Amino acid sequence: MSHGSGLQAGLKNRHLSMIAIGGVIGAGLFVGSSTGIATAGPGILLSYALVGTLVVLVMRMLGEMSAANPTSGSFSAHADRALGRWAGFSIGWLYWFFWVVVLAVEATAGAKILEGWIPAVPQWGWALIVMLVLTATNLVSVGSYGEFEFWFAGIKVVAIGAFIVVGALAVFGVLPGAHSDKAGLSNLTAHGGFLPHGPGAILTGVLLVVFSFMGSEIATLAAGESENPQRAVTKSTNSIIWRIAVFYLGSILVVVSLLPWNDPSIKTDGSYVAALNSLGIAHAGQIMNFIVLTSVLSCLNSGLYTASRMAFSLGERGDAPKMFAKTNSRGVPMAAILASVLFGFVAVFFNYKFPDSVFLFLVNSSGAVALFVWLVICFSQLRMRKIIQREAPEKLVVKMWLYPYLTWATAALIVFVLGYMLTDTEHDGRETVLLSLMVAAIVLIIAFVKQSVTAKKNQPEIPATEDPEKVPAA
């Protein structure tokens, strides 16, 4: 393998724009929203708004740091500098762990849909095919990853946009050919009120939807491989408010307006399929399956890219094997990609062989990583703002609002959500937090041991006084 001179600027502005837009639309929005609606009723809109606000604030902080210093390590590299090597090491490896588990989850979800269409190929065969195709895409060049993601994200964006427009026309009774007797804004309050299960359900809804927002930060990692990283980060940071408002709040508002929140079809068919069926749209289930498959492939593509770039950054900083930091002549970190996909394959194997034990442990033990990442971003920004102001104030092109008060308030809200999860036994919240904390503690111990060993190794040896000629062996 011929060695390149590092990552290359192979992502175009249109790639970065679509990666930023598509990054906030995960498969979880399509698949997981029905449980949230059943739990909180129309009040799930407040849950999405609360988490959306949290994500906007965290991405603003990350945008501030990444615009000043665009890097493939993103928040891990910022934590390394602001909080210490232990922080960058720990959050980097936890984030990598999160995405390699996501690879297995998404590969299995995609394989189920494909097996339904072509049952001649077994489900594990489809999972293997999907993983191999997207591994090949990532191995070719960063441009091919960007091109695939451009079209995957484009399909998601067009699909949700069309869903919102069609649904809104139906809600106001002006959609030609649709005669839904259930649609109307009255659904927001007519069936037990806006909060049928009380205000406490808003927080329970937060726990159910928070993980569907993971991926918003991918644009800041990808910016390091674009032609104008600072512009890319600034643009994606400034546009996240409307992206979350339109794609999450807009589409969920349409769903709970088209159907009563307690309509049994929302749970049995899924929220978006049920909404389309209520309008009498033919083949709604298959249309939605295609869109979910696109989201799954997009998530897989980005997950592999993100995991490999984090491994690359860890390798560059000496926190992972050095070969992870090597690139080929096309600027592709092959070892980092192959190592990430290898663990993804292992996780897929566990999903088929031990779904209720080993794989369930992997999913739950990585479940709260999103919240850990956001918390680390908060604390990193508190320190990094002072460093940037001292060393290069002209690089503060994106600024966190009401610093430091809003940063502290965001951190407090994340800690509160983690604490509330510990009281949730119905939706595995407690188990997820405890297992994630256990894995985080193990990674932290490794980080401190490594730091201690490195410090001892770098300590200069003092030659013995009685034999000044004797030089210690290197």
Kindly list the structural domains of the chain, giving each domain's residue range(s) and its CATH number in brackets, ordered by start: 13-453 (1.20.1740.10)
CA pair distance 42, 279, nearest whole angstrom: 19
CA distances from 345 to 176, 283, 439 (A): 48, 33, 20
Q: Report d(CA 306, CA 199) in Å as an integer.
A: 37
Q: Which of 363, 361, 358, 368 is nearest to 437 (CA)?
A: 368
Q: In whole angstroms, give the CA distance from residue 156 to residue 150.
A: 10
- DSSP letter for each residue of 289-320: HHHHHHHHHHHHHHHHHHHHHHHHHHHHTTSS
Question: How high is the pLDDT of residue 373?
Answer: 93
Give the separation between CA 326 and CA 313, rounded to whole angstroms: 10
Q: What does 326-366 look like in DSSP terms, one character per residue?
A: ---TTS--HHHHHHHHHHHHHHHHHHHHSTTTHHHHHHHHH
Alpha helix positions (H), 245-283: 251-258, 264-269, 271-278
List of residues 6+ apart from 167 with CB closer than 8 A: 251, 254, 255, 257, 258, 275, 279
User: Which two structure tokens, joined as six digits, stand for 448?
Assistant: 């401190």
Indicate left, alpha or beta for 473 from its phi (over 0: left) and psi (-120 to 50: alpha).
Answer: beta
**pTM for the full model?**
0.90
For 141-171, b/e burial (b = at least 16 CB within 10 A) is: bbbbbbbbbbebbbbbbebbeebbebbbebb
From first to last of the 474 residues of the chain, give the pLDDT tens digit: 445 557 877 888 888 878 877 766 767 788 778 888 988 999 999 999 999 999 999 999 999 999 998 887 889 999 999 999 999 999 999 999 999 998 888 888 889 889 999 999 998 899 999 999 989 989 988 888 889 889 988 898 898 999 999 999 989 888 876 666 778 899 999 889 999 998 888 988 888 888 788 888 888 888 878 888 888 888 888 888 888 888 889 999 999 999 999 999 998 888 988 898 888 888 888 888 898 889 888 888 888 999 999 999 999 999 999 999 999 888 899 999 999 999 988 988 888 888 888 888 888 888 889 899 999 999 999 999 999 999 999 999 999 999 999 999 999 999 999 999 898 888 788 999 999 999 999 999 999 999 888 888 877 665 655 554 555 554
Residues in the chain: 474
Contact between 11 and 146 (Cβ < 8 Å): yes
